[in-house]
Amino acid sequence: MKDKVKLWLSIARQFEAETNGFSLDLSTCNILNIKPVSGEFLKMARTMFSVVHPKDHLKLRKSITYLTMLNELQIQAWRRENDFFDAEAQHVRDILSGKRTVESFLNITDGSI
């Protein structure tokens, strides 16, 4: 258990550094450039309350809330990215099969899919 706690704390410190002390405005930054927050990391966070000193529980709670929000935003952003690339791949398949022209493909790559 001790090794898991050390690992969790190390990862938490990395997130803290990467997000300027959990204060980076997630609505204005490119969240896909931030290290992904894993579900396993968030699950382990709950057990940290029994390990950290009670005076640090509020800070822990705030960091878990921030990282949970980051995790959810990253999932949504990756879904949007995947949807865009899936649509782009479908257009390429349509061009190769003759259903669509290259010109129509060039018109959709401006992000308006």
Quote the pLDDT of residue 20: 92
| Ramachandran sector of residue 34 (left: φ over 0; alpha: ψ -120 to 50; beta: rest) | beta
Please, what is the average pLDDT of the chain?
86
Residue in this structure with the two tokens 């896909």, named with its chain if needed = 32
pLDDT band at 80 (very low <50, low <70, confident <90, very high): confident
Q: How many residues does the chain have?
A: 113
Mean pLDDT score, 52-73: 93
Contact by Cβ (8 Å): 74, 31: yes
